[in-house]
Chain A
Amino acid sequence: MKKYLMTALINIFLISTAYGSNYHKNYDDNMDCSKCHKDYSIEAINSVHFNNERKIINDAFHNFDNEFGSKNCSSCHNMTCKSCHKNNSNNMIIKPENSNCLVCHKDVYTGIEYEGYGIREDHIRYKRGLEKDKEYYLKMLPSVHHEVGIKCAECHTKNSLLGKENPKDCLTCHTYNQNIIDHSIKAHDNVACISCHAAYSPMELGSFYIRLRNSSNKELFSELPQLDDEYVKSSYMRVNERPPMVIDNETGKYVPAKPAFIIFTTDIVENNVQGKENNMILNRWKKTYPHTVRRETVLCNGCHGNEKAFLLESDENRILYPDKDGLSIKSFYNSKYFSIEGARFVTREEYNEKINKKSKEYIKKYMEKLDQLKKVIKESK
């Protein structure tokens, strides 16, 4: 959602041809952009785009801390025109660069992976490597589009940010080559391009918010991110992994999903836990579009015969046991514990009957793909 907002903001100014003109040269805090840019008021953008997200978070935290959102989300969810359009070094009004977008579109908030920044675990032991805006990242494969110099705003058009149109998608620019095995499979028409072409997706499986008031236990958490005077943040696991697939309500296609968010809260006053510890207050996945497009894709096994890829990890196949850790779920990769919006989870029947059905075509194409894999390894020097 936020990427739409960002692009909307970009486009407020794209509509004007006045970048760099004297009129817009310097940003004046007293200037009211919406006076002229009537169709692009910040409020309009907010109401279209992230009020829904805001409501979800506020509802989830309602019984825990009514002010959680205003305390911890406002650095991004409180945009003004200048958040995107002001050049911080010289106060000029500018057309936003990727760097403007990535101030907020970082971490698990889709965006920064485009330039090859993968998320790291929360503990200080993992805080090293690439540094951007005081956050540390893993060096990952960048999107192929970034490699050729395409900027955020080139796909995220002004109107896409306002929800008036979709951002440019793959087929706006590409046609797909039927000679490529995966493209030639008819059943794959139900699979969004990104489902195969996302190299990975930054995912936080289980976000933990620990509120500590007058508690000496706080020092035990000093190696975790401190959000403010009260909150410490952690996570069950932060990975840069292939995202699982769900079925998009709009298109009926298999699309990637990410946790947004699976939240657990604990409230500690002095050194006593108030209410339920590690309480799961939100269990939500949503559709995602990892900005990690590569020509390289996963092989057949990325989906076929891979129950985790459809959030259907069975108890007998799981390796991690979060229930033994005191959580109310047995697996982060089993959809029965979670909800989703705008899409639905794949069922076990679909998995057995559609995804793993060994039709003649399936077997034939599988063999061809294995031969290609062999050939690439064999002929490499």
Chain B
Amino acid sequence: MKKAFVLFIFITICAAVVWTAIYKQNNNYSENDFLCITCHQGIETVSETHKNITCIECHGGNGNTEDKDLAHKDMYGGNNPSNPKVWDKTCGKCHEYEVKRVSSTIMLTNTGLIKNTLEAWGESDNKSLYSQNHIQKAYNDNGSIIDISSIADNDNISADMYRKFCSGCHVGQAADMGYRGAHSSGCAACHFPYGEYGEYAGEDKSMQGKYMHSVTHKMQSLPDDDVCLACHNRSGRIALSYRGYYDGNNALVPLKEGIPGPDLTSGLRNIRHFQADVHHAAGMECIDCHTSNEIMGDGYYYENMYNQVEISCESCHGSYIEKPKTKREIKENTGSQNIKSTYAKNIPFGSSVVLTDKERPFTNVYEKNGEFKLISKRSGVERNIKIITGTEEHNIKGHYNMECYSCHSASVIQCYGCHVEYDERQTMYDYVKDKETKGAFKETEDMRTFFPFPLSYNQNGKISPVTPGCQTFLTHIDEKGNVVENDKMVEFRGKQQMKYAPFFGHSIGKKAVDCKVCHNNTAFLGFGDSLFSYENKTLTSAVKCDNCPVPLNSLNSVENGDFLSKSDIVRTGSKVLEKETMLKSIDAMKCIVCHENADEKYYNRDIDYEKILNDSTHKHLLD
């Protein structure tokens, strides 16, 4: 009897252990989570690698109560444990390296955006680094510790505008910027993407339809292009242009099924189609070019986006002189081998891997039998990369200092005239201070174009497309309703001048801009509509503007013999084209009139126009 009882107890215990084990295996939750699951039944497992982690290890709170308030008390970061305010207690416990990197990424610090906003509004305080949140410890690119001022402490109008407009797109902050524009903060901003309306649509019934939650509780290790689009759909709009989306005049037509169309993005903006970037057309996604070091940062606090970016067209396509740089990968813990678990297909170990401009290995670009290949990270599709090294059309004298995308852009978005009204009688939500504060902003625009686009020198001294950046005109209404400023062009570097920014529009065309199109159209030299009168000694544009010193869509103009160059290029070291370069560009047209193609016979050396046009071949043509 006693034996039988012991046996019964033993069997019961065994059964309980087995049952618990089976239960755990099926549900992937520990006893501590037992009660979380009573409400959140059906919630998705984060990922294969996260399946043995309990709810409260990431989320905090209390898994031993059915009382919702008690259970949710002291959760880390509310619905988002990856919120930068708490991420060192959550994701950072395991992913310390990533969290430290992301702490410094320019998409979190927004420092370039802040600096340029202040500068563009003539309110620069001459600091070089800013933060949206108070960062405790940061390193510059020399590795030294630096002090950073928070934009929350700045009380001028441009800082207020930054906090109320620009800062909505900030990895440190969840924000609802409207349809297709809602995103979380911290790691989740990219790895737990929000849906079109920011609503949960997974299997957890208690969360279904709830707003400002990720689509499901499943992690997206490799973010798709929609993630990037949630933020990069305004200003430069690169995520729109890349896909061939144009939000142009916002005219809400053509309609689609009775509503504005043909497609929509945040802020009830309709998007139409134009030529998509060839890389998109070939099936490539943002992350196929952009490396983790660029997106998540590499630990250093860069002043500008272009300091953090480590790739260029040349990294993969080479230059005329040099093929892409490679390095044989022989360590298991570097480059592609380090993150191979998430990629659909990996570079074979031991391959010659292509290096970024910072000489770090790409994780998906390599050399194979003398050819260069790129593997799409999510799909695993392997693609051949065209190498331009030694191709004569890239050996044109005078083009050596041009960015590839000066010729290869199908379009470059340009927003002319940004008229901002700042009304102190109203309030608006401040994303940084997380409250409504005095002063509301309203924006109107003059016109949008995409081709042709003006060229100038960028920060590397290369000729690059530029875009208005930004042409701000301020109307300031004080608390009593007095108009303090009326559509005043804000000063830049102490002067009233048009501001342009070097810009890669992310819309590489199927073919390059024709020689004759660029050399023949002085819009590329910054003369807008290029209306010319030799008799009046005038080269000007048709679009004028009340309070600006040159035509609205121009960098320069010649009016009755006066050269007006009232524009500046915003990046340090960048500048407008000089007359000499303009004249050289026009000179080249003399050849192009007849020799339309980039023929190596003519264009890979200095051209003495006088001599050539007077030689026996040409002279009789011009008599």
Q: Which residues of A are interface residues toward B (Cβ below 8 A)? A: 116, 118, 120-123, 125-129, 138-141, 180-181, 199-200, 206, 208, 210, 215, 217, 220-221, 223-224, 234-238, 240, 242, 264, 266, 268, 271-273, 277-278, 292, 294-301, 305, 316, 318-322, 324-327, 358, 360, 363-364, 366-367, 370, 372-381
Q: Does B100 contact A (CB under 8 A)?
A: no
- Enumerate 29 A-B pairs (CB-CB under 8 Å) in ascending A order: A121-B249, A126-B446, A127-B444, A139-B543, A141-B531, A180-B535, A234-B251, A236-B272, A237-B248, A238-B249, A242-B529, A271-B258, A277-B256, A277-B258, A295-B535, A297-B532, A299-B522, A301-B517, A301-B520, A318-B275, A319-B275, A325-B261, A360-B621, A363-B594, A364-B623, A374-B583, A377-B583, A380-B563, A381-B561
B70 at interface by CB-CB < 8 Å: no
Q: Is the CB of A297 within 8 A of B531?
A: yes
Q: A121 touching B532 by the CB < 8 A rule?
A: no
B521, CB-defined interface residue at 8 Å: yes
Asked if A139 meets B583 with Cβ closer than 8 Å, knowing A217-B258, A272-B258, A296-B531, the reply is: no
B246/A236 in contact, CB under 8 A? no
- Taken together as a complex, chains A and B put the C-alpha atoms of A381 and B564 apart, in Å, by 8
A327 to B552, CA, bound (A): 32
Q: Is B622 an interface residue (CB 8 A)?
A: yes
A277 close to B249 (CB less than 8 A): no
| B259 interface residue per 8 A CB criterion | yes
Q: Is B533 an interface residue (CB 8 A)?
A: yes
- Answer yes or no: B445 CB below 8 A from chain A CBs: yes
**Interface residue? B425 (CB, 8 A):** no
> Which residues on A sit within 8 Å (CB–CB) of B246?
320
Q: With the chains together, A296 CA to B527 CA distance in Å? A: 13
User: Are B251's CB and A224's CB within 8 A?
Assistant: yes
Residues of A with C-beta under 8 A to B251: 121-123, 208, 224, 234-237
CA gap between A127 and B446 in the complex, in Å: 8
B579 within 8 A of A: yes
Given contacts A199-B542, A224-B251, A295-B536, contact A138 B446 (CB under 8 A): yes
CB <8 Å contact, A128 and B419? yes
Contacts of A121 in B (CB 8 A): 249-251, 447-448
For B552, list chain A residues within 8 Å (CB): 139
CB atoms of A367 and B590 under 8 A apart: yes
Bound CA span A320–B244, Å: 9
Rounded to whole angstroms, the CA-CA distance of A264 and B251 in the bound complex is 13
Bound Cα distance A129, B552 (Å): 13
Q: Is the CB of B446 within 8 A of A129?
A: yes
Q: Which residues of chain B are within 8 angstroms of A125 by Cβ–Cβ distance?
A: 250, 443-445
Is A370's CB under 8 angstroms from B254's CB? no
**7 nearest interchain CB pairs?**
A296-B531, A380-B563, A324-B273, A301-B520, A121-B249, A128-B444, A278-B254
- The A-B contact count (CB < 8 A) is 236
B397 beta carbon closer than 8 Å to chain A: no
* B493 CB-CB contact with A under 8 Å: no
Given A223-B268, A321-B273, 19 more pairs with CB closer than 8 A: A123-B249, A128-B419, A210-B253, A221-B260, A236-B254, A237-B248, A266-B255, A295-B536, A296-B531, A296-B539, A299-B521, A300-B520, A305-B517, A327-B254, A363-B622, A375-B534, A376-B534, A377-B539, A381-B563
Q: Are B540 and A296 in contact (CB under 8 A)?
A: yes
CA distance A302 to B369 in the complex (A): 48
The answer to whether A224 touches B258, judged by C-beta atoms less than 8 angstroms apart, is: no
Write the nearest CB–CB distance from B472 to chain A, whole angstroms: 14
B117, CB-defined interface residue at 8 Å = no
User: Once bound together, how far apart are the Cα atoms of A268 and B260, in whole Å?
Assistant: 12
Q: How far is the CA of A325 from the CA of B622 in the complex (A)?
A: 48
Q: How far is the CA of A277 from the CA of B259 in the complex (A)?
A: 10
User: Does B602 interact with chain A (Cβ within 8 Å)?
Assistant: no
A221 to B275, CA, bound (A): 27
* Cross-chain contact B516 with A301 (CB below 8 angstroms): yes
B542 contacts A141, CB within 8 Å?
Answer: yes
Q: Given A223-B268, A296-B531, A377-B583, is A240 in contact with B543 using a C-beta cutoff of 8 Å?
A: yes
How near does chain B come to A354, taking the closest CB pair, in angstroms?
A: 17
Residues of A near B582 (CB, < 8 A) are: 377
Task: From known contacts A127-B444, A273-B257, A377-B539, infer whether A139 and B589 are also in contact, taking CB-CB under 8 Å.
Answer: no
Q: Tell me which of A141, A298, A320 contacts B274 (CB under 8 A).
A: A320
State A296–B404 Cα separation when bound (angstroms): 33
Residue on B with the closest CB to A182?
B534
**Is there a chain A Cβ closer than 8 Å to B252's Cβ?**
yes
The distance from the CB of B418 to the nearest CB of chain A, in whole angstroms, is: 11
Q: For the complex, what is the distance from the CA of A127 to the CA of B530, rounded to whole Å? A: 26
Evaluate whether A380 and B561 lie within 8 angstroms (CB atoms) in the complex, with A125-B444, A316-B510, A374-B583 already known: yes
Q: How far is the CB of B553 from chain A (nearest CB, A)?
A: 10
- The answer to whether B259 and A217 touch across the interface, beta carbons within 8 angstroms, is yes
Choose among A210, A221, A299 the residue that contacts B532 (Cβ–Cβ < 8 A). A299
In the assembly, what is the distance between CA of A272 and CA of B257, in Å?
A: 7
**Known A-B contacts A217-B259, A374-B583; A123 and B273 likewise in contact (beta carbons under 8 Å):** no
Contact status B249-A126, CB under 8 Å: yes
Nearest CB of A to B274, in Å: 5
Q: Is B252 within 8 A of A220, CB to CB? A: yes
B353 to chain A minimum Cβ distance, whole angstroms, is 36
Question: In the complex, which residue of chain A has the Cβ closest to the Cβ of B421?
Answer: A128
What does the 1/0 interface line of B477-513 toward A look like (CB < 8 Å)?
0000000000000000000000000000000001100
The residue in chain A whose Cβ has the minimal distance to the Cβ of B558 is: A380
Given A220-B260, A360-B621, check contact A210 B255 (CB 8 Å).
yes
Compute how far the CA of A117 lies from the CA of B271 in the bound complex, rounded to whole angstroms.
Answer: 28
